[in-house]
Amino acid sequence: AAAVSRRRVLAATGIAGVAGLAAAGGAVARDAFAQDAAPAADAVAFRGAHQAGIVTAAQDRLHFAAFDVVTRDRDHLVALLRQWTAAAARMTAGQAAGGSGAVGGPAQAPPEDTGEALDLPPAQLTLTVGFGASLFRDAAGRDRFGIAAHLPPALAPLPHFPGDQLRPELSGGDLCVQACANDPQVAVHAIRNLARIGFGTVSLRWSQLGFGRTSATTRAQSTPRNLMGFKDGTANLRAEDGALLEEQLWVQPGDGPQWLAGGTYLVSRKIKMLVETWDRTSLAEQEAIFGRTKGSGAPLTGRDEFDRPDFAATGADGRPVIAPEAHVRLAHPDQHGGARMLRRGYHFVDGSDGLGRMDAGLFFLAFQRDPRRQFVPVQRALARSDVLNEYIRHVGSAVFACPPGVRDAGDHWGRTLFG
Ligand code: HEM
């Protein structure tokens, strides 16, 4: 049904090259009408109290985009957010993007969908929006769109961490859209069409393709492995965590600006892995670095993946079995007043560096109720002592406030902020 819906739009625009589809004709179009109302089998609901793409079972593919707003006109920005919302609702249902294109209009105008997802199902596409601090105030501190008073204190810039090698062209952004799907073409199509609709109002600042989820976000999902070969996401927050999600993930009404209640904060970090160095490191050393075994993912003090690490246990030599500088010890909630995050990252391989090394790593994405209490202290501890640091470099960084979900057909991204 979804594929048919996308096709119908192109058929209506009469694009050359899909003449066959158009000719398949009336029957196809009628089917589409009959089925448009019913959600496709592999569609994720776009509307709800929270945005989709956060506790949604992590899909396999990512296209993440950060945009800068290039207009000074608040009305243009709000109009774009409305258009984006409508396009997102359609695309996540497997339909054409729509927007300012040519459906029903002159055939000389560009079509209102770029077309490459024409035959593809929704593939569990989710589109999740976030607002960066720079949307509220520019570098000179000026209120850009009359929303500076609503800047959440928790959206403060991250501090510099030891070892950071952040590149401005891979960092920051006024807006972000996280597109996740089980088909890379569906995720890329979604970002491309939002960028197309936003032409003249926003410009793409940086973007990242990702594959192979590096976490599990529901109990039904098995734990995947990261590019270092370790199970990643074992101790993650999950959709089923109920009250814990209110405590650790969702911004609560009393937390800060009311517009963000039911939303969350997203920290993105592009982390390169020095995979060639890693691959020459012994298995024992690799396991000591994480504090977990590579095969089962069990803590070095346990047998099964989900056994609780015993940080007090010592070996025959009297030293802790899980080293003081092991990643899971430093990142563990016990070290940070119980702070947890919902990690939802992806691998990246952006080709190679011309010197025989893969340009690969982890595009780390973590959702949380307050980065000042969660990401920042954990990353501070990791940056200071984690033995993993020898094998990784943080090269990109951004923080976004992700508003609550779009509730109904009259609602749109940013409504609670812009009114
Ligand atoms: C746990 C890998 C960066 C926070 C883990 C685990 C692995 C891992 C294999 C154990 C399994 C699990 O519970 O998920 C990596 C790699 C990284 C990286 C390869 C960089 C390339 C980070 C960063 C943070 C972070 C930047 C946050 C600042 C955590 C947390 C846990 C964890 C909170 C769970 C600890 C626990 O509750 O036991 N990571 N990680 N990681 N990591 Fe990372």
Q: Over the stretch 34-79, which tens digit does the pLDDT of each residue have?
A: 344 455 679 999 999 999 999 999 999 999 999 999 999 999 999 9
Whether 271 is in the pocket of ligand 1, judged by its Cβ within 6 Å, is: yes
For the chain, the straight-line distance linking the first and the last C-alpha, in angstroms and rounded, comes to 35
Phi, psi dihedrals of residue 385, rounded to the nearest 5° = -130, -15
Residue 403 has pLDDT above 80, yes or no: yes
Whether 376 is in the pocket of ligand 1, judged by its Cβ within 6 Å, is: no
Q: Which stretch of 5-19, 99-113, 136-150, 257-271 has the lowest confidence by average pLDDT?
A: 5-19
pLDDT value at residue 108: 75
Ligand 1 test: best mutation among 166, 310, 336, 364, most atoms within 8 Å of CB?
364
Residue 189 has pLDDT above 90, yes or no: yes
Q: Which residue has the tokens 């990512």?
A: 62
Atom 26 in ligand 1: which residue has the minimum CA distance?
379
Whether 226 is in the pocket of ligand 1, judged by its Cβ within 6 Å, is: yes
Residue 14 has pLDDT above 70, yes or no: no
**Angle between helices 2-13 and 19-36 in degrees, nearest 10:** 130
Q: Which stretch of 7-16, 314-323, 388-397 has the lowest confidence by average pLDDT?
A: 7-16
Whether 367 is in the pocket of ligand 1, judged by its Cβ within 6 Å, is: no
Rounded to an integer, the average pLDDT of 89-98 is 94
Ligand 1 test: best mutation among 273, 342, 343, 347, most atoms within 8 Å of CB?
343
Rounded to an integer, the average pLDDT of 306-313 is 98
**81 token code pair:** 């957010």
CA of 170 to the centre of ligand 1 (A): 21
Q: In the chain, pLDDT over 90 holds for what percent of residues? A: 85
Rounded to an integer, the average pLDDT of 145-164 is 97
Whether 235 is in the pocket of ligand 1, judged by its Cβ within 6 Å, is: yes
Residue 398 has pLDDT above 90, yes or no: yes
Ligand 1 test: best mutation among 165, 232, 347, most atoms within 8 Å of CB?
232
Residue 257 has pLDDT above 70, yes or no: yes
Quick: pLDDT tens for 95-120: 999 865 545 556 777 888 999 998 89
Residue in 384, 385, 378, 352 with CA at minimum distance from that of residue 364? 378
Whether 248 is in the pocket of ligand 1, judged by its Cβ within 6 Å, is: no
Whether 342 is in the pocket of ligand 1, judged by its Cβ within 6 Å, is: no
pLDDT top residue among 25 and 174: 174
Rounded to an integer, the average pLDDT of 148-176 is 97
**Is the interface score ipTM higher than 0.90?**
yes
Neighbours of 365 (CB within 10 A): 28
Give the number of the atom of ligand 1 that is nearest the alpha carbon of residue 271: 21
Confidence of residue 2 (pLDDT cuts 50, 70, 90): very low
pLDDT value at residue 37: 45
pLDDT value at residue 100: 57
Atom 29 in ligand 1: which residue has the minimum CA distance?
331
Q: Mean pLDDT score of the chain, rounded to an integer?
A: 90
pLDDT value at residue 419: 87
pTM for this entry:
0.91
Confidence of residue 1 (pLDDT cuts 50, 70, 90): very low
Atom 27 in ligand 1: which residue has the minimum CA distance?
379
Q: In the chain, pLDDT over 70 holds for what percent of residues? A: 89
Quick: pLDDT tens for 335-381: 999 999 999 999 999 999 999 999 999 999 999 999 999 999 999 99
